[in-house]
Protein backbone atom coordinates (compact mmCIF):
# COMPACT_ATOMS: atom_id res chain seq x y z
CA UNK A 1 0.00 0.00 0.00
CA UNK A 2 1.42 3.38 -0.93
CA UNK A 3 1.89 5.94 1.78
CA UNK A 4 -0.27 8.34 -0.15
CA UNK A 5 -3.31 6.18 0.77
CA UNK A 6 -2.90 6.92 4.47
CA UNK A 7 -5.14 9.72 5.70
CA UNK A 8 -4.76 11.42 9.02
CA UNK A 9 -8.16 12.29 10.41
CA UNK A 10 -9.06 13.97 13.64
CA UNK A 11 -7.88 11.74 16.48
CA UNK A 12 -6.83 8.64 14.59
CA UNK A 13 -5.27 6.88 11.61
CA UNK A 14 -7.65 5.53 9.01
CA UNK A 15 -6.75 3.67 5.85
CA UNK A 16 -8.28 4.78 2.63
CA UNK A 17 -11.23 2.56 1.74
CA UNK A 18 -11.86 1.75 5.43
CA UNK A 19 -13.47 4.97 6.66
CA UNK A 20 -16.54 4.72 8.91
CA UNK A 21 -19.89 4.53 7.12
CA UNK A 22 -21.22 7.53 9.07
CA UNK A 23 -18.49 9.84 7.75
CA UNK A 24 -19.84 12.44 5.30
CA UNK A 25 -18.30 12.61 1.83
CA UNK A 26 -15.34 14.97 1.63
CA UNK A 27 -16.12 18.45 0.33
CA UNK A 28 -14.86 19.30 -3.13
CA UNK A 29 -11.49 21.00 -2.84
CA UNK A 30 -11.51 24.56 -4.18
CA UNK A 31 -9.09 25.31 -7.00
CA UNK A 32 -6.23 27.56 -5.90
CA UNK A 33 -6.67 31.21 -6.80
CA UNK A 34 -4.60 32.26 -9.81
CA UNK A 35 -1.45 34.20 -9.01
CA UNK A 36 -1.86 37.89 -9.81
CA UNK A 37 0.19 38.85 -12.83
CA UNK A 38 3.31 40.85 -12.08
CA UNK A 39 3.16 43.64 -14.63
CA UNK A 40 4.91 46.95 -15.20
CA UNK A 41 2.53 49.59 -13.92
CA UNK A 42 1.79 52.91 -15.64
CA UNK A 43 0.80 55.50 -13.05
CA UNK A 44 -1.06 58.62 -14.10
CA UNK A 45 -4.18 60.49 -12.99
CA UNK A 46 -5.23 60.83 -16.65
CA UNK A 47 -6.46 57.86 -18.71
CA UNK A 48 -5.88 59.95 -21.83
CA UNK A 49 -2.27 60.50 -20.78
CA UNK A 50 -1.80 56.76 -20.29
CA UNK A 51 -3.20 56.11 -23.77
CA UNK A 52 -0.77 58.65 -25.27
CA UNK A 53 2.11 57.09 -23.32
CA UNK A 54 1.28 53.60 -24.60
CA UNK A 55 1.18 54.89 -28.18
CA UNK A 56 4.52 56.56 -27.63
CA UNK A 57 6.05 53.43 -26.17
CA UNK A 58 4.86 51.40 -29.15
CA UNK A 59 6.34 53.94 -31.56
CA UNK A 60 9.63 54.10 -29.66
CA UNK A 61 9.91 50.30 -29.59
CA UNK A 62 9.41 50.32 -33.37
CA UNK A 63 12.15 52.97 -33.84
CA UNK A 64 9.81 55.82 -34.76
CA UNK A 65 11.43 58.24 -32.36
CA UNK A 66 10.09 61.55 -33.65
CA UNK A 67 6.50 60.33 -33.49
CA UNK A 68 7.13 58.77 -30.09
CA UNK A 69 8.33 62.11 -28.73
CA UNK A 70 5.08 63.77 -29.78
CA UNK A 71 3.03 61.18 -27.91
CA UNK A 72 5.17 61.50 -24.78
CA UNK A 73 4.86 65.29 -24.96
CA UNK A 74 1.09 64.91 -25.17
CA UNK A 75 1.09 62.57 -22.17
CA UNK A 76 3.10 65.02 -20.08
CA UNK A 77 0.88 67.91 -21.15
CA UNK A 78 -2.19 65.97 -20.01
CA UNK A 79 -0.54 65.03 -16.71
CA UNK A 80 2.54 67.09 -15.74
CA UNK A 81 3.15 64.68 -12.82
CA UNK A 82 3.32 61.63 -15.10
CA UNK A 83 6.80 60.45 -14.13
CA UNK A 84 7.17 57.56 -16.58
CA UNK A 85 6.18 59.66 -19.60
CA UNK A 86 8.51 62.45 -18.45
CA UNK A 87 11.40 59.97 -18.27
CA UNK A 88 10.65 58.54 -21.71
CA UNK A 89 10.54 62.03 -23.19
CA UNK A 90 13.85 62.83 -21.51
CA UNK A 91 15.61 59.80 -22.98
CA UNK A 92 14.65 60.98 -26.48
CA UNK A 93 15.60 64.61 -25.86
CA UNK A 94 19.28 65.32 -26.54
CA UNK A 95 21.71 67.00 -24.20
CA UNK A 96 21.29 68.49 -20.77
CA UNK A 97 17.58 69.16 -21.31
CA UNK A 98 16.91 65.46 -21.70
CA UNK A 99 18.94 64.59 -18.61
CA UNK A 100 17.04 67.20 -16.60
CA UNK A 101 13.72 65.62 -17.62
CA UNK A 102 14.81 62.16 -16.47
CA UNK A 103 16.12 63.61 -13.20
CA UNK A 104 12.76 65.32 -12.67
CA UNK A 105 10.98 62.04 -13.35
CA UNK A 106 13.18 60.29 -10.81
CA UNK A 107 12.24 62.90 -8.21
CA UNK A 108 8.54 62.33 -8.94
CA UNK A 109 8.86 58.53 -8.75
CA UNK A 110 9.32 58.10 -4.99
CA UNK A 111 5.86 56.64 -4.33
CA UNK A 112 5.56 54.56 -7.51
CA UNK A 113 5.43 50.73 -7.50
CA UNK A 114 8.91 49.12 -7.54
CA UNK A 115 9.07 48.10 -11.23
CA UNK A 116 7.86 51.48 -12.47
CA UNK A 117 10.22 53.35 -10.17
CA UNK A 118 13.08 51.04 -11.16
CA UNK A 119 12.42 51.70 -14.85
CA UNK A 120 12.87 55.44 -14.33
CA UNK A 121 15.98 54.91 -12.23
CA UNK A 122 17.45 52.65 -14.93
CA UNK A 123 16.82 55.33 -17.56
CA UNK A 124 18.57 57.89 -15.37
CA UNK A 125 21.55 55.59 -14.77
CA UNK A 126 21.91 55.13 -18.54
CA UNK A 127 21.76 58.88 -19.12
CA UNK A 128 24.43 59.38 -16.49
CA UNK A 129 26.67 56.71 -17.97
CA UNK A 130 26.46 54.31 -15.01
CA UNK A 131 26.24 51.13 -17.06
CA UNK A 132 26.61 48.65 -14.21
CA UNK A 133 23.89 50.33 -12.16
CA UNK A 134 21.58 50.55 -15.18
CA UNK A 135 21.86 46.82 -15.90
CA UNK A 136 21.29 45.98 -12.24
CA UNK A 137 18.13 48.10 -12.27
CA UNK A 138 16.81 46.55 -15.50
CA UNK A 139 17.32 43.13 -13.95
CA UNK A 140 15.32 44.27 -10.92
CA UNK A 141 12.53 45.59 -13.14
CA UNK A 142 12.34 42.31 -15.05
CA UNK A 143 12.13 40.38 -11.77
CA UNK A 144 9.48 42.66 -10.27
CA UNK A 145 7.41 42.64 -13.48
CA UNK A 146 8.16 39.08 -14.49
CA UNK A 147 4.91 38.68 -16.47
CA UNK A 148 5.35 41.85 -18.53
CA UNK A 149 6.93 41.39 -21.94
CA UNK A 150 7.98 45.04 -22.08
CA UNK A 151 10.10 44.53 -18.97
CA UNK A 152 11.76 41.44 -20.47
CA UNK A 153 12.39 43.41 -23.68
CA UNK A 154 14.10 46.18 -21.74
CA UNK A 155 16.35 43.68 -20.01
CA UNK A 156 17.11 41.88 -23.26
CA UNK A 157 18.08 45.12 -24.93
CA UNK A 158 20.35 46.11 -22.04
CA UNK A 159 22.08 42.73 -22.09
CA UNK A 160 22.42 42.81 -25.87
CA UNK A 161 24.09 46.21 -25.74
CA UNK A 162 26.68 44.72 -23.41
CA UNK A 163 27.16 41.70 -25.70
CA UNK A 164 25.83 39.28 -23.10
CA UNK A 165 24.06 37.63 -25.97
CA UNK A 166 23.01 34.30 -24.48
CA UNK A 167 21.41 36.05 -21.50
CA UNK A 168 19.79 38.57 -23.82
CA UNK A 169 18.30 35.77 -25.90
CA UNK A 170 16.81 34.20 -22.75
CA UNK A 171 15.09 37.44 -21.71
CA UNK A 172 13.84 38.13 -25.23
CA UNK A 173 12.57 34.58 -25.70
CA UNK A 174 10.64 34.96 -22.45
CA UNK A 175 9.14 38.19 -23.85
CA UNK A 176 7.91 36.37 -26.96
CA UNK A 177 6.50 33.57 -24.82
CA UNK A 178 4.61 36.06 -22.67
CA UNK A 179 3.29 37.78 -25.79
CA UNK A 180 3.86 35.97 -29.10
CA UNK A 181 2.85 39.14 -30.97
CA UNK A 182 5.53 41.25 -29.27
CA UNK A 183 7.12 42.43 -32.52
CA UNK A 184 9.90 44.54 -30.94
CA UNK A 185 11.04 41.54 -28.90
CA UNK A 186 11.32 39.47 -32.08
CA UNK A 187 13.28 42.37 -33.56
CA UNK A 188 15.84 42.49 -30.77
CA UNK A 189 16.05 38.70 -30.76
CA UNK A 190 16.90 38.92 -34.46
CA UNK A 191 19.71 41.35 -33.72
CA UNK A 192 21.11 39.02 -31.08
CA UNK A 193 21.28 36.33 -33.79
CA UNK A 194 22.89 38.82 -36.19
CA UNK A 195 25.58 39.61 -33.61
CA UNK A 196 26.29 35.88 -33.50
CA UNK A 197 26.23 35.81 -37.32
CA UNK A 198 23.36 33.32 -37.28
CA UNK A 199 21.80 34.77 -40.40
CA UNK A 200 19.03 32.24 -40.96
CA UNK A 201 17.80 32.64 -37.37
CA UNK A 202 17.98 36.42 -37.64
CA UNK A 203 16.05 36.47 -40.91
CA UNK A 204 13.40 34.18 -39.42
CA UNK A 205 12.97 36.47 -36.39
CA UNK A 206 12.71 39.58 -38.56
CA UNK A 207 10.19 37.88 -40.84
CA UNK A 208 8.12 37.07 -37.75
CA UNK A 209 8.39 40.75 -36.73
CA UNK A 210 7.19 41.80 -40.18
CA UNK A 211 4.30 39.33 -40.05
CA UNK A 212 3.18 40.77 -36.71
CA UNK A 213 3.62 44.43 -37.72
CA UNK A 214 2.97 44.61 -41.48
CA UNK A 215 2.26 48.37 -41.37
CA UNK A 216 5.54 49.22 -39.64
CA UNK A 217 8.66 50.17 -41.64
CA UNK A 218 11.17 48.92 -39.09
CA UNK A 219 10.60 45.17 -39.63
CA UNK A 220 11.48 45.57 -43.31
CA UNK A 221 14.49 47.70 -42.33
CA UNK A 222 15.74 45.04 -39.91
CA UNK A 223 15.24 42.29 -42.48
CA UNK A 224 17.19 44.37 -44.99
CA UNK A 225 20.09 44.61 -42.55
CA UNK A 226 20.14 40.84 -42.11
CA UNK A 227 20.24 40.37 -45.88
CA UNK A 228 23.06 42.90 -46.08
CA UNK A 229 25.20 41.16 -43.47
CA UNK A 230 24.54 37.83 -45.18
CA UNK A 231 25.92 39.31 -48.41
CA UNK A 232 22.55 39.36 -50.18
CA UNK A 233 22.89 42.98 -51.24
CA UNK A 234 20.21 43.06 -53.94
CA UNK A 235 17.60 41.69 -51.54
CA UNK A 236 18.85 44.09 -48.90
CA UNK A 237 18.38 47.22 -50.98
CA UNK A 238 14.95 46.02 -52.09
CA UNK A 239 13.86 45.54 -48.46
CA UNK A 240 15.22 48.95 -47.44
CA UNK A 241 13.23 50.49 -50.30
CA UNK A 242 10.12 48.65 -49.08
CA UNK A 243 10.64 50.20 -45.64
CA UNK A 244 10.75 53.64 -47.24
CA UNK A 245 7.59 52.84 -49.20
CA UNK A 246 5.86 51.88 -45.95
CA UNK A 247 6.78 55.20 -44.32
CA UNK A 248 8.40 58.03 -46.27
CA UNK A 249 9.61 59.64 -43.05
CA UNK A 250 11.50 56.54 -41.90
CA UNK A 251 14.93 58.00 -42.64
CA UNK A 252 16.99 55.04 -41.26
CA UNK A 253 15.97 53.01 -44.31
CA UNK A 254 17.56 55.59 -46.62
CA UNK A 255 20.72 55.32 -44.52
CA UNK A 256 20.52 51.57 -45.14
CA UNK A 257 20.20 52.11 -48.89
CA UNK A 258 23.27 54.35 -48.72
CA UNK A 259 25.21 51.65 -46.88
CA UNK A 260 24.36 48.93 -49.40
CA UNK A 261 25.43 51.17 -52.25
CA UNK A 262 28.64 52.02 -50.41
CA UNK A 263 29.41 48.32 -50.05
CA UNK A 264 29.17 48.13 -53.84
CA UNK A 265 31.42 51.21 -54.15
CA UNK A 266 28.51 53.06 -55.75
CA UNK A 267 29.53 56.31 -54.11
CA UNK A 268 27.28 58.57 -56.15
CA UNK A 269 24.28 56.37 -55.38
CA UNK A 270 25.21 56.29 -51.70
CA UNK A 271 25.47 60.07 -51.48
CA UNK A 272 22.14 60.43 -53.27
CA UNK A 273 20.48 58.14 -50.71
CA UNK A 274 22.00 60.14 -47.86
CA UNK A 275 20.48 63.28 -49.30
CA UNK A 276 17.10 61.57 -49.25
CA UNK A 277 17.69 60.43 -45.66
CA UNK A 278 18.39 64.01 -44.61
CA UNK A 279 15.29 65.28 -46.41
CA UNK A 280 13.11 62.61 -44.80
CA UNK A 281 14.42 63.19 -41.26
CA UNK A 282 11.72 64.46 -38.93
CA UNK A 283 14.15 65.75 -36.27
CA UNK A 284 17.22 67.99 -36.70
CA UNK A 285 19.45 65.46 -34.96
CA UNK A 286 18.33 62.79 -37.45
CA UNK A 287 19.34 65.07 -40.32
CA UNK A 288 22.74 65.57 -38.70
CA UNK A 289 23.10 61.80 -38.40
CA UNK A 290 23.01 61.56 -42.18
CA UNK A 291 25.90 64.06 -42.36
CA UNK A 292 28.08 61.80 -40.20
CA UNK A 293 27.40 59.04 -42.72
CA UNK A 294 28.08 61.41 -45.61
CA UNK A 295 31.50 62.28 -44.21
CA UNK A 296 32.50 58.61 -44.00
CA UNK A 297 31.21 57.89 -47.51
CA UNK A 298 33.28 60.80 -48.81
CA UNK A 299 36.31 59.51 -46.93
CA UNK A 300 35.79 55.95 -48.19
CA UNK A 301 35.63 57.16 -51.80
CA UNK A 302 38.94 58.95 -51.30
CA UNK A 303 37.83 62.56 -50.78
CA UNK A 304 39.23 63.32 -47.32
CA UNK A 305 39.00 67.08 -47.88
CA UNK A 306 35.26 66.89 -48.53
CA UNK A 307 34.81 64.66 -45.49
CA UNK A 308 36.60 67.19 -43.30
CA UNK A 309 34.42 70.03 -44.57
CA UNK A 310 31.28 67.99 -43.95
CA UNK A 311 32.30 67.30 -40.35
CA UNK A 312 33.23 70.93 -39.72
CA UNK A 313 29.85 72.09 -41.04
CA UNK A 314 28.12 69.39 -39.00
CA UNK A 315 29.85 70.51 -35.80
CA UNK A 316 28.83 74.12 -36.41
CA UNK A 317 25.21 73.18 -37.11
CA UNK A 318 25.11 70.89 -34.09
CA UNK A 319 26.45 73.58 -31.77
CA UNK A 320 23.98 76.13 -33.12
CA UNK A 321 21.09 73.69 -32.69
CA UNK A 322 22.09 72.71 -29.17
CA UNK A 323 23.17 69.18 -30.10
CA UNK A 324 26.40 69.39 -28.16
CA UNK A 325 27.08 65.66 -28.16
CA UNK A 326 27.18 65.60 -31.96
CA UNK A 327 29.34 68.72 -31.95
CA UNK A 328 31.81 66.90 -29.70
CA UNK A 329 31.81 63.66 -31.70
CA UNK A 330 32.44 65.40 -35.05
CA UNK A 331 36.11 66.29 -34.32
CA UNK A 332 36.69 62.78 -32.95
CA UNK A 333 35.53 61.32 -36.26
CA UNK A 334 37.69 63.78 -38.13
CA UNK A 335 40.67 62.82 -35.96
CA UNK A 336 40.13 59.14 -36.75
CA UNK A 337 40.12 59.94 -40.46
CA UNK A 338 43.35 61.91 -40.08
CA UNK A 339 45.02 58.97 -38.32
CA UNK A 340 43.89 56.59 -41.05
CA UNK A 341 45.07 59.08 -43.68
CA UNK A 342 48.57 59.31 -42.21
CA UNK A 343 48.16 62.73 -40.55
CA UNK A 344 48.27 61.69 -36.92
CA UNK A 345 49.78 64.96 -35.66
CA UNK A 346 46.84 66.91 -37.07
CA UNK A 347 44.48 64.45 -35.38
CA UNK A 348 45.65 65.57 -31.94
CA UNK A 349 44.41 69.10 -32.62
CA UNK A 350 40.93 67.80 -33.40
CA UNK A 351 40.90 65.73 -30.22
CA UNK A 352 41.77 68.82 -28.19
CA UNK A 353 38.64 70.44 -29.66
CA UNK A 354 36.51 67.45 -28.67
CA UNK A 355 37.92 67.40 -25.15
CA UNK A 356 37.27 71.13 -24.75
CA UNK A 357 33.62 70.58 -25.72
CA UNK A 358 33.30 67.89 -23.06
CA UNK A 359 34.93 70.21 -20.51
CA UNK A 360 32.25 72.85 -21.15
CA UNK A 361 29.92 70.69 -19.06
CA UNK A 362 26.96 70.80 -21.43
CA UNK A 363 26.85 67.04 -22.03
CA UNK A 364 24.95 64.46 -19.95
CA UNK A 365 27.22 62.07 -18.10
CA UNK A 366 26.69 59.15 -20.45
CA UNK A 367 27.37 61.21 -23.57
CA UNK A 368 30.38 62.92 -21.99
CA UNK A 369 31.87 59.54 -21.08
CA UNK A 370 31.25 58.17 -24.59
CA UNK A 371 33.00 61.15 -26.21
CA UNK A 372 35.85 60.91 -23.72
CA UNK A 373 36.36 57.20 -24.41
CA UNK A 374 36.34 57.73 -28.17
CA UNK A 375 38.72 60.68 -27.87
CA UNK A 376 41.16 58.79 -25.65
CA UNK A 377 41.14 55.75 -27.93
CA UNK A 378 41.83 57.92 -30.97
CA UNK A 379 44.51 59.84 -29.04
CA UNK A 380 46.33 56.59 -28.33
CA UNK A 381 46.17 55.79 -32.05
CA UNK A 382 47.62 59.17 -32.98
CA UNK A 383 50.34 59.11 -30.34
CA UNK A 384 51.34 55.53 -31.16
CA UNK A 385 51.51 56.43 -34.86
CA UNK A 386 53.86 59.33 -34.07
CA UNK A 387 55.98 57.12 -31.76
CA UNK A 388 55.14 59.14 -28.64
CA UNK A 389 54.95 55.97 -26.60
CA UNK A 390 54.99 57.46 -23.10
CA UNK A 391 52.18 59.85 -23.97
CA UNK A 392 50.26 56.99 -25.57
CA UNK A 393 50.61 54.91 -22.41
CA UNK A 394 49.36 57.82 -20.30
CA UNK A 395 46.29 58.15 -22.54
CA UNK A 396 45.80 54.37 -22.32
CA UNK A 397 45.75 54.55 -18.52
CA UNK A 398 42.95 57.14 -18.68
CA UNK A 399 41.08 55.01 -21.19
CA UNK A 400 41.35 51.96 -18.94
CA UNK A 401 39.93 54.03 -16.08
CA UNK A 402 36.96 55.00 -18.23
CA UNK A 403 36.45 51.45 -19.51
CA UNK A 404 36.35 50.12 -15.96
CA UNK A 405 32.85 51.62 -15.75
CA UNK A 406 31.76 49.18 -18.48
CA UNK A 407 33.45 45.90 -17.52
CA UNK A 408 30.94 43.73 -19.39
CA UNK A 409 30.70 45.82 -22.57
CA UNK A 410 32.68 44.22 -25.37
CA UNK A 411 32.69 47.35 -27.58
CA UNK A 412 34.10 49.47 -24.75
CA UNK A 413 36.68 46.86 -23.81
CA UNK A 414 37.61 46.60 -27.49
CA UNK A 415 38.83 50.21 -27.33
CA UNK A 416 41.31 49.13 -24.68
CA UNK A 417 42.44 46.06 -26.65
CA UNK A 418 43.07 48.22 -29.72
CA UNK A 419 44.99 50.82 -27.74
CA UNK A 420 47.15 48.14 -26.13
CA UNK A 421 47.77 46.56 -29.52
CA UNK A 422 48.71 49.86 -31.16
CA UNK A 423 51.19 50.68 -28.41
CA UNK A 424 52.73 47.21 -28.77
CA UNK A 425 53.00 47.73 -32.53
CA UNK A 426 54.65 51.12 -32.08
CA UNK A 427 57.38 49.50 -29.96
CA UNK A 428 57.98 46.68 -32.44
CA UNK A 429 56.15 43.98 -30.46
CA UNK A 430 53.95 42.64 -33.27
CA UNK A 431 53.34 39.31 -31.51
CA UNK A 432 52.16 41.12 -28.37
CA UNK A 433 49.93 43.31 -30.51
CA UNK A 434 48.30 40.23 -32.04
CA UNK A 435 47.56 38.90 -28.55
CA UNK A 436 45.79 42.10 -27.52
CA UNK A 437 43.92 42.61 -30.78
CA UNK A 438 42.71 39.02 -30.98
CA UNK A 439 40.43 39.79 -28.02
CA UNK A 440 38.09 41.83 -30.25
CA UNK A 441 34.90 40.50 -31.81
CA UNK A 442 34.66 40.11 -35.59
CA UNK A 443 32.39 43.13 -36.03
CA UNK A 444 34.77 45.52 -34.25
CA UNK A 445 36.18 46.60 -37.56
CA UNK A 446 38.92 49.04 -36.55
CA UNK A 447 40.34 46.41 -34.22
CA UNK A 448 40.21 43.71 -36.90
CA UNK A 449 41.89 46.04 -39.39
CA UNK A 450 44.71 46.67 -36.91
CA UNK A 451 44.91 42.95 -36.11
CA UNK A 452 45.50 42.10 -39.77
CA UNK A 453 48.34 44.64 -39.92
CA UNK A 454 49.85 43.21 -36.74
CA UNK A 455 49.60 39.63 -38.04
CA UNK A 456 51.38 40.67 -41.21
CA UNK A 457 54.17 42.38 -39.27
CA UNK A 458 54.46 39.30 -37.08
CA UNK A 459 55.09 37.25 -40.23
CA UNK A 460 51.79 35.40 -40.28
CA UNK A 461 50.64 36.36 -43.76
CA UNK A 462 47.98 33.66 -44.01
CA UNK A 463 46.34 34.81 -40.79
CA UNK A 464 46.40 38.42 -42.00
CA UNK A 465 44.77 37.39 -45.28
CA UNK A 466 42.05 35.47 -43.45
CA UNK A 467 41.37 38.37 -41.08
CA UNK A 468 41.05 40.81 -43.97
CA UNK A 469 38.79 38.45 -45.89
CA UNK A 470 36.48 38.11 -42.87
CA UNK A 471 36.46 41.88 -42.45
CA UNK A 472 35.60 42.38 -46.12
CA UNK A 473 32.62 40.04 -45.86
CA UNK A 474 31.28 41.41 -42.57
CA UNK A 475 29.02 43.89 -44.44
CA UNK A 476 28.31 45.93 -41.32
CA UNK A 477 25.68 48.64 -41.13
CA UNK A 478 28.00 51.43 -40.06
CA UNK A 479 29.20 54.15 -42.41
CA UNK A 480 32.55 54.15 -40.63
CA UNK A 481 33.05 50.58 -41.82
CA UNK A 482 32.96 51.56 -45.49
CA UNK A 483 36.55 52.83 -45.60
CA UNK A 484 37.83 49.55 -44.16
CA UNK A 485 35.59 47.51 -46.44
CA UNK A 486 36.96 49.34 -49.47
CA UNK A 487 40.55 48.78 -48.34
CA UNK A 488 40.30 45.12 -47.38
CA UNK A 489 37.97 44.34 -50.28
CA UNK A 490 40.57 45.56 -52.73
CA UNK A 491 43.30 43.63 -50.92
CA UNK A 492 41.22 40.44 -50.81
CA UNK A 493 40.43 40.70 -54.50
CA UNK A 494 44.11 41.24 -55.34
CA UNK A 495 45.08 38.20 -53.25
CA UNK A 496 42.49 36.10 -55.06
CA UNK A 497 43.75 37.31 -58.42
CA UNK A 498 40.51 39.11 -59.28
Beta-bridged to residue 7, according to DSSP, are 14
For residues 378 and 417, state if they share a domain. no
Compute the half-sphere exposure of residue 444: CA atoms within 13 Å on the CB side of its CA: 19
Nearest to 258 by CA among 292, 226, 219: 292
Q: Would 15 be classed as within a structural domain?
A: no
For residues 290 and 386, state if they share a domain. yes
For residues 67 and 51, state if they share a domain. yes
Q: Would 401 be classed as within a structural domain?
A: no
- CA gap 21, 490 in Å, rounded: 94
* Domain end point (choices 282, 301, 320): 282
What's the pLDDT tens digit per position in 334-370? 999 999 999 999 999 999 999 999 999 989 989 999 9
Q: Would 420 be classed as within a structural domain?
A: yes
For residues 376 and 290, state if they share a domain. yes
For residues 270 and 292, state if they share a domain. no
Q: Would 17 be classed as within a structural domain?
A: no
Confidence at 27, pLDDT banded by 50, 70, 90:
low
For residues 379 and 291, state if they share a domain. yes
CATH number of the domain where residue 316 is located: 1.25.40
- CA gap 130, 75 in Å, rounded: 28
CATH number of the domain where residue 71 is located: 1.25.40.10
Task: Give how far Cα 233 sits from Cα of 246, 251, 288, 490, Å.
Answer: 20, 19, 26, 18
Query: What are the DSSP E strand ranges found in 20-160?
Result: none
- CA gap 120, 81 in Å, rounded: 13
- Asked if residue 264 lies in contact with residue 279, where contact means CB atoms within 8 angstroms, the answer is no
Q: Would 255 be classed as within a structural domain?
A: yes
For residues 288 and 269, state if they share a domain. no
Q: Would 175 be classed as within a structural domain?
A: no
Q: Would 76 be classed as within a structural domain?
A: yes
For residues 126 and 104, state if they share a domain. yes
Residue numbers of the domain that contains 445: 406-498
Q: What is the pLDDT of residue 409?
A: 83
Q: What is the pLDDT of residue 249?
A: 92
* Domain end point (choices 282, 317, 333): 282
Give the strand pairing for 6-9 and 12-15. Answer: antiparallel
For residues 278 and 314, state if they share a domain. no
Q: What is the pLDDT of residue 407?
A: 84
CA angle 44, 48, 54 (to 5 degrees): 75
Q: Would 349 be classed as within a structural domain?
A: yes
Q: How many domains does the chain have?
A: 4
For residues 306 and 368, state if they share a domain. yes
Enumerate residues 6+ apart whose C-beta is below 8 A from 371.
Answer: 325, 328, 329, 332, 354, 357, 358, 363
Q: What is the pLDDT of residue 490?
A: 58
Q: What is the pLDDT of residue 491?
A: 45
Helix intervals (H) in 130-198: 131-144, 149-161, 165-178, 183-195
Q: What is the pLDDT of residue 406?
A: 83
* pLDDT for 421 beyond 90: yes
* Domain end point (choices 282, 304, 332): 282
Amino acid sequence: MRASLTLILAGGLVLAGCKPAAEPPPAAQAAPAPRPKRLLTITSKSPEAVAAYEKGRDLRENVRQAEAMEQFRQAVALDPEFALATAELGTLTPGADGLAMVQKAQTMSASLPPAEKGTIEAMLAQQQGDAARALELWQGVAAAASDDWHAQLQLGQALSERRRLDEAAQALTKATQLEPKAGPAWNTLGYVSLAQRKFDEAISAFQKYAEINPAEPNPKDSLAEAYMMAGRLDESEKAFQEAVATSASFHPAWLGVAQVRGLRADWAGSIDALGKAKAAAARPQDALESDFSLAWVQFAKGDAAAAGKTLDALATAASTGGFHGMAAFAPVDRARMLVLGGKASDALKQLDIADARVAEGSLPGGTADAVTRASLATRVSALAATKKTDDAKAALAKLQEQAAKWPDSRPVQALVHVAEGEIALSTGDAAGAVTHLSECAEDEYYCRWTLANAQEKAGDTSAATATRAALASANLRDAGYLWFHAKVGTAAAATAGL
